[in-house]
């Protein structure tokens, strides 16, 4: 009886709901997602969601997803969970290097994994905070990704901002909105600082542990900022697809708004 009351979700149904809330042909769309958030059985699972997104933006649109690999990072910084100090040297010496074609994402979800595995998807070169893209602008967005700053102006986030992309939060909150890290780079506040980072990389064909400095990112106010932006932005929209709360918003306006709010950080 319960299954009859909640019929399965389908690719066409998800596509139509996305288009009804404002996802349009030719759009450049940065997607953060949770398959579990739908709370319903989906005919085709993560593949159906990816295809629904691709059909919603059409062949002239570009779909982008973060494909982060948080475990390819400095182990002394790990906190969720931490590892014993006796492991740090082993991790730095033995963790396999980042490879765009092989390295899986970590805690990014089934939709992202399905998307990044598609033949022809372009994945950027950053060992920790890469992005995958498909569509006419894929190379322009993900073709170059400097080691530092990883989420700054010259990163795929900067290219997405330039292209007037939209952000789609598919069943996740603003605390998962990577765009807000670009705002952190732009804003200044007391205590803004950098931290030591490292990652295993292929350098001239050889595996090396490469160290660099990155911004000490802080997402503790992302939810408050994101909710305030939605309330203030007439272009932002919300919808329910199954049990999933889906939010769509323009990235430029979001980043500009967030940078102003972050300047007020104590």
**Domain range summary for the chain, segments of one domain joined by +:** 2-68+106-188+220-262
pLDDT score at 1: 34
Phi and psi at residue 10, in whole multiples of 5°?
A: -130, 165
Q: Which of 42, 20, 29, 36 is nearest to 249 (CA)?
A: 29
SS3 content of the chain, % helix, strand, coil (to 5): 35, 20, 40
Tokens at 206, concatenated = 């050889």
**Cβ contacts of residue 43 below 8 Å, gap of 6+?**
8, 9, 10, 11
pLDDT in tens, 13-34: 999 999 999 999 999 999 999 9
- Kindly state the DSSP code that residue 139 receives in the 8-state scheme: H
Residues 226 and 174: beta-carbon distance below 8 Å: yes
pLDDT in tens, 207-263: 999 999 999 999 999 999 999 999 999 999 999 999 999 999 999 999 999 999 999
Beta strands in the chain (DSSP E): 28-33, 62-66, 122-123, 131-134, 166-170, 194-203, 206-215, 237-241, 244-250
Q: Which of 133, 135, 216 is nearest to 145 (CA)?
A: 133
pTM, rounded to two decimals = 0.96
- How many other CB atoms sit within 10 Å of the CB of residue 176? 20
pLDDT in tens, 89-142: 999 999 999 999 999 999 999 999 999 999 999 999 999 999 999 999 999 999
């Amino acid at each position: 009886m319960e299954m009859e009351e909640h019929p399965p979700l389908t690719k066409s149904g998800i596509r139509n709901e996305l288009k009804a809330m404002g996802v349009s042909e030719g759009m450049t769309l940065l997607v953060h997602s949770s398959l579990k958030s739908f709370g319903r059985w989906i005919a085709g699972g993560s593949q159906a969601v990816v295809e629904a997104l691709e059909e919603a933006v059409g062949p002239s649109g570009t779909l982008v997803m973060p494909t982060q690999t948080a475990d390819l990072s400095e182990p002394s910084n790990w906190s969720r969970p931490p590892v014993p100090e006796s492991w740090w040297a082993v991790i730095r010496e033995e963790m396999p290097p980042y490879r765009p074609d092989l390295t899986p994402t970590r805690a990014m979800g089934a939709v992202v994994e399905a998307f990044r595995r598609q033949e022809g998807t372009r994945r950027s070169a950053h060992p920790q905070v890469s992005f995958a893209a498909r569509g006419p602008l894929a190379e322009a967005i993900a073709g170059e990704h400097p080691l530092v700053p990883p989420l700054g102006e010259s990163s795929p986030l900067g290219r997405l901002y330039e292209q007037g992309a939209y952000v789609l939060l598919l069943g996740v909150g603003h605390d998962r909105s990577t765009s807000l890290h670009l705002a952190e780079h732009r804003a200044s506040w007391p205590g803004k600082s950098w931290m030591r980072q490292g990652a295993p990389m292929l350098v001239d064909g050889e595996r090396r542990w490469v160290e660099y400095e990155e911004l000490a990112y802080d997402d503790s106010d992302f939810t408050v900022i994101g909710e305030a932006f939605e309330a203030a932005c007439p272009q932002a929209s919300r919808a329910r697809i199954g049990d999933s709360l889906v939010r769509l918003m323009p990235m430029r306006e979001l980043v500009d708004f967030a940078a102003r709010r972050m300047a007020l950080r104590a």
